Amino acid sequence: MHALMGIESDLGDWRRTHHTSQLSSSDDEVTLMGYIASIRDHGNIIFIMLADKDGEVQLVFKKHDGNERIFSLAKSLREHSSIAVKGRVKASKQAPMGIEVVPEELKVLSLAYSIPPFSVYSRTFPSIDVRLDLRAIDLRRYYMKSIFRLRHKVLKAIRGFLDTQGFMEVNTPKIISTASEGGASLFPVFYFDREAFLAQSPQLYKEQLVTAFEKVYEIAPIFRAEPSRTNRHLAEAISVDVEEAFVDYRDVMNLLESLVIHVIESLNSGAKEELQALKLSINTDRGFPRYTYTQIVDILRSNGYKIEWGDDFTNEHLQFLGDTIKGYYFIVDWPLRLRPFYTKNKDNDTSIAEAFDLMHGDLEISSGSTRINRKDILLERLKMQGLRTESFEYHLKVFDYGMPPHAGFGLGLERFLMAITGLDNIRDATFYPRDIDRLVP
Amino acid sequence: MHALMGIESDLGDWRRTHHTSQLSSSDDEVTLMGYIASIRDHGNIIFIMLADKDGEVQLVFKKHDGNERIFSLAKSLREHSSIAVKGRVKASKQAPMGIEVVPEELKVLSLAYSIPPFSVYSRTFPSIDVRLDLRAIDLRRYYMKSIFRLRHKVLKAIRGFLDTQGFMEVNTPKIISTASEGGASLFPVFYFDREAFLAQSPQLYKEQLVTAFEKVYEIAPIFRAEPSRTNRHLAEAISVDVEEAFVDYRDVMNLLESLVIHVIESLNSGAKEELQALKLSINTDRGFPRYTYTQIVDILRSNGYKIEWGDDFTNEHLQFLGDTIKGYYFIVDWPLRLRPFYTKNKDNDTSIAEAFDLMHGDLEISSGSTRINRKDILLERLKMQGLRTESFEYHLKVFDYGMPPHAGFGLGLERFLMAITGLDNIRDATFYPRDIDRLVP
């Protein structure tokens, strides 16, 4: 047992009266709670920065204030301990926020028994693995806190936009019997007495759901057993999936562009504090450039890159594109054989897909297309891609009942957050990343 | 190939100008799209009800209108086919909505090759298994459509409420290395070269996340390998998980009650149409009754039921309670040994947990508690429940850094929807249910 353990108290009937962000010098008696961001001990006076959900305030403990017990309790504390204080707010020119709080009562709710290998103020820090091993505490760093507060506002803006556009939120099963995009990259699940898989996308379900609801979206985890160790792949990620009936890929490209613009405008008006904390200035013009796949191939060739029409782009290609084309842009009209079986070809060309990627620099953040809505064509494409049509029986059945024309896209939330924040490792765009090497915490 | 297949057209450049719900007799030329809800063929005149996302309108095709091609095309159609029409809106006293549309052009976008074993208008229907096998089409029934439009509004109201209360949305991993509530009921996953599991709750992660963010919520799938075949269990469900620092179970009970009230008020003001379609009138008073576990045991005993203090309630007990206590009520202060290891006991009593269930009639819709925030106590409880402490190493580590007092709850979205709508089978409160017998569609 730690020597200090006896000084911890329960919360009891204490309740916070203010968050630190709500304090002003006109407040008198306040009850604050949070964790200790820093301590400066000057012998007879101790300054403690108390941090909570969305701010911090300086607490001042003086030895000769007539409250020796509190002073010596404060003296024994370490950074990260959770405390509660009752005290008085005082204006103070020296204090970082223009006010400070002089505690009259102090409860130590939970001691820190160790000091983590990073400060809450640091933007530079040890390796990501050291931080991820102690992720909950790493998230107390103001930089990471701002990233995830921003993430919350991105999600809220996405839902707000889709709601006003008449989309309905859906949830589709994550345990499935069949791969939606071929058999690769699936995690097997032992489902009662059967083999099942984790869904790598809600693709077939969201397509089915447009038959009744026309405009649907889902924001949910997707699972990909890709054994890659890059800074832009996760084994478990959050996908913003959108599907709409009676439109084609041009319509959903416009929708996606409006969505991105709406999110950026919402952050500029409603996340000023986070953007400032992250030293970000984000602005994007409407009218994202649209290049056809063929144009991109020509650009690459004329810059000395070797690529055949029909090849997928390599990392080297993408890097060159990212250096050449700044910001958001679409690559459209892909070779059909590079896209999944449910992708519709252009009316006048069976080798070209009505498909697009939304890029930000060298990063693909979204993929979408017009989908096939005829059973005979879908069957043909399944066979062409060497997939077992029997596995898709339950999906194909829906196409017997008037499946409307439809189109949609999937937007990778973490990648979108990378595009917005400039994070260079996707692991920091999620709370607890999963990859081939990491299953804990 | 079906004889009619040749009559199908692509969407091309046609785009909808109005949803049926937006039509008024002042509209002139309109383009509508949707599926055929019903057809009445009177020989020289055909009435087709065209259904879309949120309404329907009558189309009138007359043989002697000078457009024989359209008339004979209409004649060949079946219910559920997806069509697009360009036509003129006409006031009509006979038409169900007071208006009808006289098509001047007609595109058959997708034929129905079969007629499903239920009508879109039916509230009564074949067995749930017949419907689930054809779920996408079952969801075209107006009853089911209203259920899921209501579900969308429930989710929106929940998020709106939690946002205004200062909660931050989080996502926690669904592939985990350790059971959060003991080892039972887990689906194993083959994770690269390791064994992993699907998360049966975000419990430990949401607890960790209050160290940095204080107030967090997650709305996401949970997975339980319970081999039960009841009408109130799913193998995959959506859980609304809420966790808050610096409060106890009394606070989160109040929060949960306010959340339920807010959702019901939001539906009454913003989902009138759906409530009417479902013939629902939902009203709930503030101040949900709170019974202690011990009081409930006494009630049961005085009504002739056999139960020992410390036993969990059986289905028979819950049924009696549901018949006796109407609406929402809490059962609080449970025997500690009936609750998971992370549950805090009451200060003055080591046998009683600071824990609650929110009930609606005989249905448990939420569980919550004050959590343990001290490492030594948590270790003791893990051992008491026979769990391997090494498996929780990554979680216990967080408790070395000033884990604040905290409390929270999980609310089952599908069960909440059952409470609101009166659905008696949880499978109809989700799009594609998963249970021991069902993995498709």
Residue-wise DSSP of A351-396: EEESEEEEEETTEEEEEEEEEP--HHHHHHHHHHTT--GGGGHHHH
Bridge partners for A332 per DSSP? A292, A356
pLDDT band at A112 (very low <50, low <70, confident <90, very high): very high
pLDDT for the residue B95: 83
The encoded tokens of residue A217 equal: 């979206």
Q: How far apart are CA A212 and CA A203, in angstroms?
A: 16
Q: How far apart are CA A236 and CA A228, in angstroms?
A: 13
pLDDT for the residue B1: 41
Burial level of B350, CB count in 10 A (0-12/13-18/19+)? exposed
List, for residues A397-429, the tens digit of each pLDDT value. 999 999 999 999 999 999 999 999 999 999 999
**With an 8 Å Cβ cutoff, is A318 touching chain B?**
no
Chain B residues 33-52 with CB within 8 Å of chain A: 33, 35-36, 52
DSSP sequence for A129-173: HHHHHTHHHHTTSHHHHHHHHHHHHHHHHHHHHHHHTT-EE----
Lowest mean pLDDT among B28-42, B118-132, B309-323: B118-132
Nearest-CA residue of chain A relative to B8?
A374
The encoded tokens of residue A435 equal: 């990859």
**Integer angstrom CA distances of residue B115 from A209, B112, B127:** 18, 7, 17
List, for residues A133-144, the tens digit of each pLDDT value. 999 999 999 999
- How confident is the model over A28-32, as a mean pLDDT? 94
H or E stretch covering A274: helix A272-277
Nearest-CA residue of chain A relative to B397?
A134
Residue B4 predicted with pLDDT over 80: no
Looking at every residue in chain B, the average pLDDT score rounds to 94
Percent of all residues in chain B with a pLDDT value above 70, rounded to a whole number: 97
pLDDT for the residue B403: 97
Using a CB-CB cut-off of 8 Å, the residues of chain B touching A137 are 211-212, 398, 401
Flag if B432 and A211 touch (Cβ within 8 Å): no
**With an 8 Å Cβ cutoff, is B190 touching chain A?**
yes
Tokens 């949970």 correspond to B222
pLDDT band at A183 (very low <50, low <70, confident <90, very high): low
Cβ count within 10 A of residue A273? 14
Q: How far apart are CA A348 and CA B388, in angstroms?
A: 63
Q: Which of A20, A401, A428 to mutate to test the interface with B (most CBs of B within 10 A)?
A: A401
Beta strands at B29-41 and B45-52: parallel, antiparallel or unpaired: antiparallel
Q: How far apart are CA A224 and CA B174, in angstroms?
A: 13
Of the partner residues A140, A152, A205, the one whose CB lies closest to the CB of residue B169: A152
ipTM field: 0.97
Omega of the bond leading into B441 within 30 degrees of 0 (cis): yes
Cβ count within 10 A of residue A359? 25
**Sign of torsion over alpha carbons A17, A21, A26, A28:** positive
Cβ count within 10 A of residue A84? 24
DSSP sequence for A3-45: TTGGGB---TT---S--GGG--TT--EEEEEEEEEEEEE-SSE
The encoded tokens of residue A161 equal: 């936009």
Grouping H, G, I as helix, E, B as strand and the rest as coil, residue A219 is strand
**With an 8 Å Cβ cutoff, is A76 touching chain B?**
no
Of the partner residues A110, A213, A214, the one whose CB lies closest to the CB of residue B403: A110
Omega of the bond leading into B126 within 30 degrees of 0 (cis): no
pLDDT band at B179 (very low <50, low <70, confident <90, very high): low
The encoded tokens of residue B88 equal: 């003129």
Domains in chain A (CATH in brackets) are 5-110 (2.40.50.140), 136-429 (3.30.930.10)
Closest CA of chain A from B270, distance in Å: 13
Using a CB-CB cut-off of 8 Å, the residues of chain A touching B248 are 11
Of the partner residues B80, B198, B395, the one whose CB lies closest to the CB of residue A401: B80
Grouping H, G, I as helix, E, B as strand and the rest as coil, residue B130 is helix
pLDDT for the residue A126: 85
Residue B440 predicted with pLDDT over 80: yes
pLDDT band at B228 (very low <50, low <70, confident <90, very high): confident
Residue A122 predicted with pLDDT over 90: no
The encoded tokens of residue B208 equal: 């960790």
Chain B residues 111-150 with CB within 8 Å of chain A: 111-114, 116, 133-137, 139-140, 144-145, 148-149
Residue B354 predicted with pLDDT over 90: yes
Q: How far apart are CA A114 and CA B393, in angstroms?
A: 15
Spell out the residues 6+ positions from residue A270 whose beta carbon is closer than 8 angstroms to its own: A153, A157
- The CA-based angle B281-B425-B119, given to 5 degrees, is 80
Using a CB-CB cut-off of 8 Å, the residues of chain A touching B148 are 168, 170, 213
DSSP, res A180:
S
pTM over 0.80: yes
Tokens 């989902």 correspond to B271
pLDDT for the residue A1: 41
The encoded tokens of residue A70 equal: 């509190």
Closest CA of chain A from B91, distance in Å: 26
CA-nearest of A103, A122, A125, A131 to A46 is A103
pLDDT for the residue A62: 95
Q: How far apart are CA B428 and CA B431, in angstroms?
A: 7
Using a CB-CB cut-off of 8 Å, the residues of chain B touching A196 are 439
DSSP, res A269:
H
Flag if B187 and A187 touch (Cβ within 8 Å): no
Q: How far apart are CA A271 and CA A252, in angstroms?
A: 27
Of the partner residues A192, A215, A441, the one whose CB lies closest to the CB of residue B394: A441
CA-nearest of A366, A363, A382 to A425 is A363
